[in-house]
Structure 1
């Protein structure tokens, strides 16, 4: 990622997709470090999912959400603590009730400052969006599950346990069959493994596979990934299949006592052959490293 200048991670309030009644997605337009952002309405309240990176992006999201709400009460949640998803929450203070799961709140408190510094080093466009970031504190923190009544519509917030991060959260709208996955799922992209030993090793390929199996079993009709195009349940299966293949191909080579460098080279080539159109090839190496560390002899 550091070999070229990343595009400016700007949220554009354009091409907003209505994926169900009173439920829209501000698409990321396949711009790196821009998430898909959800806005879900009920009779008396509206929930915003993710903020975009930094206060200027979040201001645009809040303006759109407030106009969409039309006087309804606002809530904000974030799928996990990473900067493009959560580092705009400060803008919603006093305008929306901010609620997240406890593991995510701990991630934000313990690792937020480090991630702010790390992401600011990705280039001037990213650093510019992160100027003025203040790490927010949630108004409501839940342990494992939270049902948010928006008025005639209940939205389910569920902590998944450690996977892409320690504090991942999935948001489901049962009456619409819609699931927001955050970075547990990407469309047309290799899974993002934030495997940065010794600084951050909370990602777990094995636990991630187990989470995907549970999400597939829920059988949502519409899946909103963290990044990439909105799709159907096939998105969940694609990620689950990829993670299992990545594990199997990594472990069979680990069993043969290959060097990790050789494992990376061989597995990377195989994964690109299987998914030549997927972006994010740089994350394959991190995935192999994580799964090597989780290898069961």
Structure 2
């Protein structure tokens, strides 16, 4: 992906507008027995990271962006494991979630769903180039990074036995990306959603035509409906505060709102630029406290493209 191909909608990812995307392990906290979360603490391009254990093994969910972040996460996992086997998985291929998995090579088994592995192979190099192009601390975090190659790729679902705790890895189908995966910890009632759910911000739509159009607002809404029906006790979103089932219902309600307001105007034969302006103004008025306003426009663009003929 060249400089000329940097997708629209990423203008806010510039060195002067984004702090160093550093994982802060000092904020780690237990949310269930032998299950801790390293929260993103509101820092852009830092995901919520999970580390959980059983009697025989430990699983890490997400790595953070770049070598230094992932080394910290591996250190937490190794300390928790105390000789137990270590696994790592990621919810999707985007750089802040997966572009630290190379650090775990030889130390842990990296396993993901088939569609995510396809994304890593086909789209990972372009995203690595794009994010390095933002310069500043983002580029420094990605210095020397290579797109990771999973050790285990599964089809359907994967039940990982950690010893007295079985963790369910479940691909959801196309939503935020083609290869989204959620991680369920049934004994604790915990669900890691990746960027299918966020709190305190507008949903992230990586709609960058013609370079990346895999996000689907319509299918995303179907996925959230299914996840919300499960009523997990604790929801760990990709970014933002950890919460309960309302994290999912709030995202569902927003996606419905975005779809309905976009399609209503599309039905009235309005042009896309006019739809964007009206829907953006309306949603900012309704959710003035939310961040990520730059993601409203690509969300509208995606749903315009998905509008039924």
TM-score interval, normalised by the smaller of the two chains: over 0.9
Aligned to 1:145: 157
Structure 1, residues 134-182: CA drift from partner, whole Å, max 9, x if none? 1111111011200000000000000001000000000000010000000
Whether 2:242 is the aligned partner of 1:230: answer yes
1:121 is displaced (CA, Å) by 1.9
Q: Secondary structure at the match of 1:19?
A: strand
Aligned to 2:9: none
Instruction: State how far apart, in whole Å, the 1-side matches of 2:135 and 2:248 are.
Output: 32
Aligned to 2:301: 289
1:2 is displaced (CA, Å) by 4.5
Cα distance change, pair 2–23 in 1 and its aligned pair in 2 (3 A): closer
Q: Is the 8 A contact 1:6 1:123 kept in 2?
A: no
1:27 is displaced (CA, Å) by 0.5
Question: Of residues 285, 288, 292 in structure 2, which corresponds to 1:280?
Answer: 292
Question: Of residues 86, 89, 97 in structure 1, which corresponds to 2:109?
Answer: 97
Aligned to 1:14: 26
Aligned to 2:194: 182
Cα distance change, pair 128–162 in 1 and its aligned pair in 2 (3 A): same
Q: Is the 8 A contact 1:28 1:228 kept in 2?
A: yes
Whether 2:117 is the aligned partner of 1:126: answer no
1:40 is displaced (CA, Å) by 0.8
1:273 is displaced (CA, Å) by 1.3
Q: Is the 8 A contact 1:5 1:123 kept in 2?
A: no
TM-score (structure 1 length as normaliser): 0.99
Question: Of residues 106, 109, 113 in structure 1, which corresponds to 2:118?
Answer: 106
> In the TM superposition, what are the counterparts of 1:189-268 in structure 2 within 5 Å?
189-268=201-280
Q: Is the 8 A contact 1:58 1:91 kept in 2?
A: yes
Structure 1, residues 166-207: CA drift from partner, whole Å, max 9, x if none? 000000000100000000000111100000000000000000
1:293 is displaced (CA, Å) by 0.2
Q: Is the 8 A contact 2:261 2:279 kept in 1?
A: yes
Structure 1, residues 51-90: CA drift from partner, whole Å, max 9, x if none? 0001111011101110111111100000000000000001
Q: Is the 8 A contact 2:128 2:147 kept in 1?
A: no
Q: Is the 8 A contact 1:6 1:122 kept in 2?
A: no
Q: Is the 8 A contact 1:193 1:287 kept in 2?
A: yes
1:122 is displaced (CA, Å) by 2.1
TM-score (structure 2 length as normaliser): 0.95
Segments of 5+ residues of structure 2 without an aligned counterpart are: 1-11
Q: Secondary structure at the match of 2:111?
A: strand
CA RMSD after TM alignment: 0.8
Q: Secondary structure at the match of 1:262?
A: helix
1:237 is displaced (CA, Å) by 0.3
Instruction: State how far apart, in whole Å, the 2-side matches of 1:203 and 1:119 are.
Output: 19
Instruction: State how far apart, in whole Å, the 1-side matches of 2:13 and 2:238 are.
Output: 21
Structure 1, residues 71-110: CA drift from partner, whole Å, max 9, x if none? 1110000000000000000100010011000000000000
Number of residue pairs aligned between Structure 1 and Structure 2:
297
After the TM superposition, list the runs of 4 or more consecutive aligned residues in structure 1 that deviate by more than 4 angstroms: none
Instruction: State how far apart, in whole Å, the 2-side matches of 1:274 and 1:65 are.
Output: 41
Instruction: State how far apart, in whole Å, the 2-side matches of 1:296 and 1:273 are.
Output: 27
Q: Is the 8 A contact 2:56 2:84 kept in 1?
A: yes
Instruction: State how far apart, in whole Å, the 2-side matches of 1:83 and 1:136 are.
Output: 10
